[in-house]
Structure 1
């Protein structure tokens, strides 16, 4: 038997924070690749500390639903899972290349734990960013005549976060699909506040590389870009800002195709996922009405 455990931050203050995690777990569960699919959170129940005890399978793949390598993936999650012998050097990562390491956990020593790198640095995340642009515009061929901005928090908060933003922006740029591709930040230059300064394209899709919609993606970024003076009054999509149409997509982690990245992380660690990638890709292409 093999199990998948998706671990995420969660929030005591924002009930929507855990919604993408549950949605992606449901998608993976329905694809049938794992005997069990569980979720665990740092700031919600069920907790990361307890989640391994709820798993019956003896082969467990743990995938962090986080954007970058850093404090949570290197310290908090291994500690809460009680991974024996954990050493971040085992990933031998440059901040983008963490793949997986196989360990045991002290409170469930009979289980083999495959601890994976975060979803946000996986190459498959690039496709999710592009899919997010397709979703917000309603155009599966969006690209020509459009600019694309990939938005992150900023290097002062987490240097590796900026690496992930640049990595995916570079990969999308190499596709030669969009007329312009730019990495922007909330707290560093180039700042998302000045989004229109960085694009000649009249239409610009803005996709935050965040897992869930919350304070930053629902309030800060829309107000910083000038989509609205008060997030509580809402904003148009697209919104007219200084001669540009801004298509604001919200957090990339809410895109259904994220389940694909979770599966790919587990597969890289040795999980037998069968044809589940094809199932997920087909299902997440459908509208909610078509999927039911």
Structure 2
């Protein structure tokens, strides 16, 4: 028997924080392929701590619904799952290349494949592009458009910016958009000055966040000048400094994220070829740039 566990941050304050996790888990559950599909959270129930002990399956694929490699994926999750033989070096990652590590918890008789976070998977580049298509309603969006990939950014974790730069570089190499830039909330270059970085008249802004919440629905729209008060909402597109801003909201809410979760599990050895095909049909996904 094989199980999939999707682990996410969750929130005591934002009820929408866990919505993408449940949505993507249900998409995968309906497609079959796993005997069990579970959700687990750091700040909500069900918690990380007891997840493995509630599963009947003897082979478990744990996929973190996080954007970057860092404190949560390298310390908190393995500790809470009690993966005693875990070491970040097992991922052999440069900050964006984690794949999986096979571990054997000491207190349960299971084989656990601990996967890298979805946010650094190559397929996330496709999800960002799909998000641009969704917000503009144009499957061919690109010519005449700039694309801003927005991350939180923090001097405390250099890998936070690495994930943003990684996908911005990959999408730039597609030569699909006229311009592609990585911007941040808490470090330079800042999303507040988004129009300063683009010549294109239309700019699609895609935040590389898992869920919509305080940052994506309050901070970023106000910082970019889409609205003076997020509670009053904003137009899409919105006119700012002679540009039209198409604000997409959190990338993690895109249906195609279910594909990325499955690809992480598949690369770790999960038998999900048919499942992935069914999910791609449901989400409109195609094989990723990395396939």
Q: CA deviation at 1:285?
A: 2.7
1:206 counterpart = 2:167: no
Rounded Cα–Cα distance in structure 2 between residues aligned with 1:132 and 1:212: 13
RMSD over aligned CA atoms reads: 1.0
Rounded Cα–Cα distance in structure 1 between residues aligned with 2:26 and 2:122: 22
Rounded Cα–Cα distance in structure 1 between residues aligned with 2:234 and 2:104: 48
After TM superposition, the score normalised by the length of structure 2 is 0.96
Q: CA deviation at 1:183?
A: 0.4
Q: Deviations over 1:109-144 (max 9, x none)?
A: x11100001000000100000000000011111111
Q: Deviations over 1:228-276 (max 9, x none)?
A: 0000000011111011110000000000000011001001110010222
Q: CA deviation at 1:157?
A: 4.1
Cross-structure match for 1:38:
38
After TM superposition, the score normalised by the length of structure 1 is 0.96
| Structure 1 unmatched runs, 5+ | 287-292
Q: CA deviation at 1:35?
A: 1.1
Rounded Cα–Cα distance in structure 2 between residues aligned with 1:161 and 1:279: 32
Q: How does 1:178-257 map to 2 (within 5 A)?
A: 178-257=177-256
May I ask how many residue pairs the two structures share in their alignment? 285
Cross-structure match for 2:24:
24
Q: CA deviation at 1:189?
A: 1.1
Q: Deviations over 1:143-197 (max 9, x none)?
A: 1111100000114242101000000000000111111101001111111000001
| Structure 2 unmatched runs, 5+ | 286-291
Rounded Cα–Cα distance in structure 2 between residues aligned with 1:277 and 1:146: 31
Cross-structure match for 1:289:
none
SS at match of 1:189: coil
Rounded Cα–Cα distance in structure 2 between residues aligned with 1:199 and 1:70: 30
Cross-structure match for 1:100:
100
Rounded Cα–Cα distance in structure 1 between residues aligned with 2:135 and 2:48: 33
Cross-structure match for 2:158:
159
Which 4+ runs in 1 deviate beyond 4 A?
A: none
Cross-structure match for 1:148:
147
